[in-house]
């Protein structure tokens, strides 16, 4: 901006730089592109043109009066939140709440909500039940059910550890999408391959989906993959060697979670939202197709 004739001139001494408006005594040569106040490197936020101060970003973003600043984003384009583990906490709380309901209501509640293909239930008067009988809700309700204390403790510890690594990297909505689609993927593969009268329950499919998500994120960040591969190998070893484990649910969740996360973090920036929604939709359509095929074979 030109100065009017006769107006006071700023000192030309190279060492006499103005101080950041937000940090007194911190000299800077950078100014906000909107209000022209001096800002230091800790305060400047990238904008489409130059840099802006935090106040202008808060007040003017999206108003049309000046270029809006680019908000900090996760690797998948999600918003960076003040509480990066919010959804993880909510999921833990839901699992605990459902476990309390299971303890209170017992076998009848489990019989009405656990994953089962097609069978007659003694708890429900030998009525025909199952996904193939139209009870598709079991594909998702089963992923929040736990019957034994060691089962829920192991799953919730795994959810807490993996959630604190995956949720901040994806953002809330994308993290929730991975968790739920992975849970559905695990249920769908168990429905397809397990005996129709074999019940299953637990958050393990969704948690294996978070393992797949973590592996994709580690690869995306060019981290050393050997510890990640070792973790997956150990988890799969226990899956196939421990008794009473639905390996179908684990594998289905792992594959679904990994595929969705790959679509989220490798989506090109110019078409990010479209590719991310499309990736989730493709995996969901595959799950629906599996369920339809299995239902047709049972009915």
Residues identified as active-site: 204, 250
The dihedrals phi and psi of 42, each to the nearest 5 degrees, come to -75, -25
Burial 72-93 (b: 16+ CB within 10 A, else e): eebbbbbeeeeebbebbeebbe
Q: Which structure tokens are listed for 59? A: 């007040």
Classified as helix, coil or strand, 79 is strand
Measure CA 147 to chain center: 25
Query: If you search the block for the tokens 């101060």, which residue do you land on?
Result: 53
Strands 45-46 and 127-129: unpaired
CA angle 159, 160, 162 (to 5 degrees): 65
For residue 52, count other CB atoms closer than 10 A to its CB. 29
């Amino acid at each position: 901006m030109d100065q009017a004739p006769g107006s006071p001139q700023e000192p030309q001494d190279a060492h006499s730089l103005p101080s950041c408006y937000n940090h007194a005594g911190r000299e800077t040569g950078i100014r906000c592109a909107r209000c022209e106040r001096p800002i230091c490197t800790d305060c400047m936020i990238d904008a489409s043109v130059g840099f802006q101060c935090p106040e202008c970003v808060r007040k003017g973003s999206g108003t049309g009066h000046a270029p809006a600043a680019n908000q900090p984003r996760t690797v998948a384009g999600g918003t960076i939140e003040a509480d990066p583990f919010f959804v993880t906490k909510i999921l833990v709380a839901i699992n605990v709440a459902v476990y309390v309901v299971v303890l209170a209501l017992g076998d009848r509640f489990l019989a009405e909500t656990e994953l089962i293909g097609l069978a007659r239930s003694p708890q429900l008067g030998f009525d025909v039940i199952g996904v193939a009988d139209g009870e598709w809700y079991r594909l998702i309700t089963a992923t929040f059910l736990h019957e034994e204390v060691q089962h829920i403790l192991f799953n919730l510890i795994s959810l807490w550890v993996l959630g604190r690594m995956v949720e901040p990297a994806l953002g809330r909505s994308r993290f929730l999408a991975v968790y739920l689609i992975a849970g559905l993927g695990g249920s769908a593969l168990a429905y397809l391959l397990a005996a129709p009268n074999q019940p299953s329950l637990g958050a393990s499919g969704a948690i294996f989906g978070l393992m797949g998500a973590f592996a994709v994120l580690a690869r995306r960040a060019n981290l050393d993959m050997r510890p990640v591969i070792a973790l997956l190998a150990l988890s799969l070893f226990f899956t196939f060697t421990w008794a009473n484990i639905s390996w179908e649910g684990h594998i289905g969740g792992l594959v679904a979670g990994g595929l969705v996360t790959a679509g989220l973090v490798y989506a090109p920036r110019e078409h990010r939202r479209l590719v991310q929604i499309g990736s989730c939709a493709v995996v969901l359509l595959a799950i629906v197709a599996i369920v339809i095929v299995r239902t047709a074979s049972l009915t």
